[in-house]
């Protein structure tokens, strides 16, 4: 009993930050205007209001607009249930497993509409029915479809800067958690007790880091402090969800900074255990390879070019291969099968953490296979490789390895020249290879002697 009293006292203290009446900022106190909001989002809000529901533009788009960043998308929060929302719009679909949401489609734009939700009631230790609760024993919330009031919706959001509601009709901002203050001070701060909020949903640790990198904010010290200790909780998160989060971490244009923050807060190892171990063993080379891959990704995104998760995963996991290859070779497996088996093992293990779909693991493996083939250029091989559908990715990957310091005997330059050369120049480039060791040009009859097909610098690292 006393324990319970104390617990609720502690919680109410820790939750002193959010409040039940919002600070209301009128048009003179902030820069956000109705015209800044996507007209489709305004349309959704107004139709819901006309139908008698409360509705606000909320979350990342309000935050981003206050910071002069173009929002990725617009989210709406409403008192209408998903079914009620769907009934209002012809072009609406209910989606979501963990959370039920409604997507309202306007051509290519999707407005995401979420019903106000409440925090889950605290698990009652004396409750006979606690097995029915929606919490895991670690405190993690497994289901979260308990609807609530606007105030409750604000309290259950993750960070203060994400809990701002914009009233498009009156151009007011409702601020329940001092989010505007934190935006001004460039701080990522959890609403409520940080430890408890991370335990409810450990992915919030990744979100803290992602927003810190994207917005160039600091993580407020009480929100930052527990992360390293709680980082292992990420191991319990379903692998498909972590895969989605990893894409957001590394494909949003701030991957390089995100990676540094992940390392700083011990969040990289639970996501990529084998890569983290390789980084520890060989920080120079592995650090350069990963950082360079992420820097290239950020640059491509900044230039509006496409990026593929396959290349990213190929790079992040490449450093984990050599140790595996070595272990298999020590057990007597020949180099080529050892390489294949190591690739298979590394990917299978990684998929237990982040469920990478086949459409990305297959091309990632092709990129790796090409690293074995690019040194072997004799005869028609070089021309056949140029025709390979993944040649470009394989070649880019080779350059990445070289930038990280792998010794390849100038293979990247050779391929750069070869692509630009005329037919006759190409023929002489191939002739000039004759007799060189790592070209794979050894006569066929040597094939069975075991001395053929060096692995090149392959996965050897430094
Ligand atoms: P961006 O879309 O730029 O990545 P965002 O803040 O809009 O950022 P979303 O993932 O789209 O992020 O989520 C929308 C809103 O839902 C957030 O602003 C936050 O208020 C709330 N939210 C999302 N994920 C969580 C979570 N794990 N715990 C609590 N609230 C969350
Ligand atoms: Mg969003």
Could you report the per-residue pLDDT of 169-224, keeping only the tens digit for each?
Answer: 999 999 999 999 999 999 999 999 999 999 999 999 999 999 999 999 999 999 99
Residues 301 and 436 grouped into a single domain: yes
Q: Give me the domain span that covers residue 195.
A: 11-236
Whether 241 is covered by a domain: the verdict is no
**Would residue 243 count as lying in a domain?**
no
Residue 412: other Cβ atoms inside 10 A: 20
Whether residue 130 has pLDDT greater than 50: no
Tokens in use for 387?
């025709």
Same domain (yes/no): 206, 289: no
For ligand 1, the distance from its centroid to the CA atom of residue 298, given in whole angstroms, is 22
Radius of gyration of the chain (CA): 27
**Same domain? 75 vs 126:** yes
Which residues have a catalytic role annotated?
Answer: 73, 75, 158
Looking at the CA of 163, name the nearest ligand. 1
Which atom from ligand 1 is nearest to the alpha carbon of 71? 3
CB distance 49 to 168 below 8 Å: no
Residue 346, token pair as written in the block = 């590394």
Q: Which ligand is nearest to the CA of 41?
A: 2
Closest Cα to atom 24 of ligand 1: 158
Give the lowest-confidence range in 70-79, 145-154, 334-343.
145-154
Q: Are 374 and 415 in contact (CB under 8 A)?
A: yes
Ligand 1 atom, smallest distance to 201 CA? 27
- Let me know whether 207 and 298 are in one domain: no
- Partners of 423 in beta bridges: none
Is the domain of 217 the same as that of 264? no
In this structure, which residue's CA is closest to atom 27 in ligand 1?
A: 204
Q: Which of 38, 41, 59 to mutate to test the pocket of ligand 1 (most atoms within 8 A of CB)?
A: 59
List pLDDT tens digits, range 242-257: 999 999 999 999 999 9
Position with higher pLDDT, 458 vs 382 = 382
pLDDT (mean) for 55-75: 96
Please report which ligand is nearest the Cα atom of 211: 1
Indicate the pTM of the whole model: 0.86
Whether 249 is covered by a domain: the verdict is no
**441 pLDDT above the threshold of 60:** no
Q: How many domains, in total, are found in the chain?
A: 2
Q: Does 278 share its domain with 173?
A: no
Asked if 320 contacts 278 with a C-beta cutoff of 8 angstroms, the reply is: yes
Q: Which residues line ligand 1 (CB under 6 A)?
A: 59-60, 72, 75, 157-158, 162-163, 201, 203-204
Give a yes or no: residue 132 inside a domain. Answer: yes
Q: Could you tell me if residue 246 is inside a domain?
A: no
Do the beta carbons of residue 56 and residue 174 sit within 8 Å? yes
> Taking phi first (over 0 means left), then psi (-120 to 50 degrees means alpha), and beta for anything else, what does residue 355 get?
beta
Looking at the structure, tell me whether residues 222 and 302 fall in a common domain.
Answer: no
Per the model's pLDDT, the better-predicted residue between 12 and 384 turns out to be 384
In a domain, residue 251? The reply is: no
Please identify, among 203, 236, 269, the residue that sits at the C-terminal boundary of a domain: 236
What gap in Å lies between CA 38 and CA 412, rounded to an integer? 46
Please report, rounded to a whole number, the percentage of residues in the chain having pLDDT higher than 70: 84
CATH number where 310 lies:
1.10.3090.10
All residues at 6 or more sequence positions from 360 whose CB lies less than 8 Å from its CB, including other chains: 308, 309, 310, 313
- Alpha helices by DSSP H, listed for 220-272, are 221-224, 227-230, 239-250, 255-264, 268-271
Indicate if the alpha-carbon torsion angle 286, 292, 295, 300 is positive or negative: negative
pLDDT at 128 over 90: no
201 and 338 both lie in a single domain: no
- The DSSP string of 128-176 is TTGGGSSB-TTS-B-----B--HHHHHHHSSBGGG-EEEETTTTEEEES
Pocket test for ligand 1, best of 57, 65, 116, 158 (most atoms within 8 A of CB): 158
Distance from C-alpha of 199 to C-alpha of 144, rounded to nearest angstrom: 14
Quick one: 270 and 222 in the same domain? no
- CATH classification of the domain holding 92: 3.30.460.10
């Amino acid at each position: 009993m006393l324990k319970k009293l104390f617990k609720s006292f502690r919680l109410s203290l820790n939750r002193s930050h959010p409040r039940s009446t919002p600070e209301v900022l009128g048009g003179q106190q902030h820069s956000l205007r109705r015209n800044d909001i996507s007209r489709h989002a305004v349309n959704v809000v107004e139709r819901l209001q006309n139908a008698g529901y409360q509705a606000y533009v909320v979350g990342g788009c309000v935050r981003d607009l206050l910071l002069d960043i173009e929002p990725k998308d617009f989210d709406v929060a409403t008192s209408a249930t998903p079914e009620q929302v769907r009934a209002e719009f012809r072009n609406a679909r209910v989606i979501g497993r963990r959370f039920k949401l409604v997507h309202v489609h306007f051509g290519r734009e999707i407005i995401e509409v979420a019903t106000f939700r409440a925090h889950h009631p605290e698990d009652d230790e004396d409750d006979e029915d606690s097995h029915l609760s929606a919490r895991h024993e670690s405190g993690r919330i497994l289901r979260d479809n308990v609807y609530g009031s606007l105030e409750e919706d604000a309290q259950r959001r993750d960070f203060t800067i994400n809990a701002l509601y914009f009233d498009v009709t009156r151009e007011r901002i409702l601020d329940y958690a001092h989010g505007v203050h934190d935006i001004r001070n460039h701080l990522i701060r959890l609403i409520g007790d940080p430890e408890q909020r991370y335990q409810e949903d450990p992915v919030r640790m990744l979100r803290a880091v992602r927003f810190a990198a994207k917005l160039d904010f600091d993580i407020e010290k009480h929100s930052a402090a527990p992360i390293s200790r709680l980082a292992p909780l990420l191991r319990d998160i379903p692998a498909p969800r972590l895969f989605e989060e990893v894409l957001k971490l590394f494909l949003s244009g701030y991957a390089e900074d995100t990676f540094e923050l992940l390392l700083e807060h011990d969040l990289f190892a639970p996501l990529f255990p084998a890569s983290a171990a390789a980084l520890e063993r060989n920080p120079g080379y592995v650090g350069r390879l990963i950082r360079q891959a992420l820097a290239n990704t950020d640059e491509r995104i900044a230039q509006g070019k496409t990026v593929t998760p396959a290349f990213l995963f190929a790079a992040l996991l490449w450093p984990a291969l050599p140790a595996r290859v070595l272990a298999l070779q020590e057990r007597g497996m020949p180099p080529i099968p050892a390489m294949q088996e190591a690739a298979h093992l590394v990917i299978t293990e990684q998929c237990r953490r982040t469920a990478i779909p086949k459409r990305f693991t297959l091309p990632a493996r092709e990129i790796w296979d090409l690293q074995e083939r690019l040194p072997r250029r004799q005869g028609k091989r070089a021309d056949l490789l140029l025709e390979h559908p993944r040649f470009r990715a394989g070649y880019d990957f080779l350059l990445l390895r070289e930038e990280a310091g792998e010794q390849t005997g100038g293979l990247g330059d050779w391929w750069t020249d070869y692509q630009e050369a005329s037919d006759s120049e190409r023929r002489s480039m191939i002739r000039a290879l004759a007799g060189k060791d790592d070209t794979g040009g050894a006569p066929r009859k040597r094939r069975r002697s075991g001395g053929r097909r060096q692995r090149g610098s392959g996965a050897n690292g430094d």
